[in-house]
């Protein structure tokens, strides 16, 4: 990552922990309340840099590149642990830099939301509050039929490493920065991550595309390996890599509803999200219903995953157990409120965090 692409007040550093060589962005006074920002899939901490420049006026912001993303080490992801490899990496970073002894606020975007929930499950009493920004379902991506995360098939077919677009994976590996195909990283950023049109500040779009291209590609990284299945759509999860780690076969974060310390939660999302949605364009059940994938067995066998309903169900259980959450839906906004409506996003996060003091 070039320091020239970072906004004023945001600095990059490489931190070696007992688990990983981690690229970290930092902003804000070292003595301010700690806010850890965890990025999503096919992205990096650089996606938060402009946000950190603003939030760093009030908080000590720390945003790591997760393993295999951005400038961090390309360590393999053990999918059978769900998202715990990522959560454990974040815990090692905070522990070994002395931040884990202070109250930590977590902000997780998409995949990062799942990492934040896993962190809170595994380390009760250490999390001051949680912001879930367009967070993934507690039951991951793909292959579930109801609010309880029941799999459509016993082998969880329709989730895992085989669900990624092969052409997008090929283009990432090839370093494609162009716009000649809908699956190019640039087009994915500008038409799927955000609700068009979004105008980035000069140089920011190129910087974000470069970060998408920097991620590790392969069976142990993104998207991960796959297993052939006799069940539609013919692919089931493997045991390694990012998309298998977020398969419901291995990822179940519903236990968050029972964490004993119950930090307050802000669930913030865009109303036009095409990724985390009950009609998600990355969910094979919904794509089958649209006719985009042949052989779809119909809604009784393989419905679209009710991602929003699943998140709300777990948070409702959390609230019933004594926790508190607030849902905030931003109008005319897609998967990335911090990029699309930065002022509104930053105001909502600041108001929420200030109330935790």
What pTM was estimated for this model as a whole? Answer: 0.97
Tell me 187's DSSP state. H
pLDDT of 2? 54
Grouped pLDDT means (10 residues each) for the chain, 357 residues: 80 97 97 98 98 98 98 96 98 96 95 98 97 98 98 98 97 97 97 96 96 98 98 98 98 98 98 98 97 97 98 98 98 98 98 93
Is residue 212 in a domain? no
**Residue 243 in domain:** no
338 close to 48: Cβ distance less than 8 angstroms: yes
295 token code pair: 């052989």
Measured between alpha carbons, how far is 349 from 273 in angstroms, rounded to an integer? 19
Within 50-151, strands assigned E span: 60-64, 104-109, 127-133
> Dihedral of CA 342/55/326/45: which sign?
positive
Sheet holding 325-330: strands in order across?
A: 10-16, 21-27, 60-64, 34-38, 104-109, 127-133, 264-270, 325-330
User: 309-318 as b/e, with b when 16 or more CB fall inside 10 Å?
Assistant: ebbebbbeeb
Tell me, what CATH number does 22's domain have? 3.40.50.1820
Angle CA(224)–CA(228)–CA(231) in degrees, nearest 5? 120
In this prediction, residue 5 carries a pLDDT of 84
Residue 113: predicted pLDDT: 98
Enclosing domain of residue 135: 3-155+250-354
Structure confidence at residue 4 (pLDDT): 62
Residue 219 in any domain: the answer is no
In a domain, 228, yes or no: no
Distance, in Å, from the CA atom of 73 to the CA atom of 57, rounded to the nearest integer, reads 29
How far is it, in rounded angstroms, from Cα 297 to Cα 231? Answer: 10
Closest C-alpha to 44, from 26, 66, 28: 66
- Ramachandran quadrant class, 218 (left: phi over 0; alpha: psi -120 to 50; beta: rest): left
Cβ distance 136 to 112 under 8 Å? no
Could you tell me if 273 and 334 are in contact, meaning their C-beta atoms sit under 8 angstroms apart? yes
Strand partners, 104: 34, 127
| pLDDT for res 13 | 97
Domain membership of residue 44 (yes or no) is yes
106: tokens are 């977590």
Residue 48 lies in a domain: yes
Distant-in-sequence, close-in-space partners of 124: CB < 8 Å, separation ≥ 6: 259, 260, 261
Distances from the Cα of 250 to the Cα of 46, 47, 239, 242, angstroms: 28, 27, 9, 11
Classify strands 21-27 and 10-16 as parallel, antiparallel or unpaired: antiparallel
Q: Is residue 28 part of a domain?
A: yes
Q: How many domains does one find in the chain?
A: 1
pLDDT of residue 288: 98
């Amino acid at each position: 990552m070039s320091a020239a692409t970072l906004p004023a007040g945001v600095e990059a550093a490489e931190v070696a922990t007992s688990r990983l060589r981690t690229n970290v962005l930092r902003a804000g006074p070292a003595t301010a309340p700690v806010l850890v920002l965890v990025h999503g899939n096919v992205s990096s901490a650089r996606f938060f840099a402009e946000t950190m420049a603003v939030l760093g006026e009030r908080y000590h912001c720390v945003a790591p590149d997760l393993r295999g993303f951005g400038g961090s080490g390309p360590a393999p992801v053990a999918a059978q642990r769900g998202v715990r490899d990522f959560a454990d990496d974040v815990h090692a970073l905070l522990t070994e830099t002395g931040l884990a002894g202070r109250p930590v606020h977590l902000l997780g975007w998409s995949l990062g939301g799942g990492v934040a929930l896993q962190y809170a499950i595994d380390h009760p009493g250490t999390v001051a509050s949680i912001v879930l920004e367009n967070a993934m379902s507690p039951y991951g991506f793909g292959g579930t039929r109801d609010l309880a995360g029941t799999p459509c098939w016993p082998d969880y077919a329709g989730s895992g490493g085989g669900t990624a677009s092969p052409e997008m994976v090929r283009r990432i590996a090839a370093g494609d920065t162009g716009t000649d195909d809908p699956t190019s990283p640039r087009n994915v950023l500008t038409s799927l991550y955000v609700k068009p049109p979004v105008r980035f500040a000069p140089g920011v779009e190129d910087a974000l595309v470069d970060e998408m291209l920097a991620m590790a590609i392969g069976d142990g990284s993104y998207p991960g390996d796959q297993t052939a299945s006799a069940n539609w759509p013919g692919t089931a999860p493997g045991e390694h890599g990012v998309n298998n780690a977020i398969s419901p076969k291995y990822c179940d974060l519903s236990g968050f509803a029972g964490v004993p310390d119950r930090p307050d939660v802000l669930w913030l999302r865009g109303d036009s999200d095409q990724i985390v949605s009950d009609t998600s364009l990355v969910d094979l059940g919904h794509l089958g219903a649209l006719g985009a994938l042949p052989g779809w067995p119909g809604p009784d066998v393989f419905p679209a995953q009710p991602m929003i309903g699943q998140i709300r169900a777990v948070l409702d259980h959390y609230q019933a157990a004594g926790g508190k959450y607030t849902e905030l839906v931003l109008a005319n906004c897609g998967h990335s409120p911090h990029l699309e409506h930065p002022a509104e996003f930053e105001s909502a996060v600041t108001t929420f965090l200030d109330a935790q003091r």
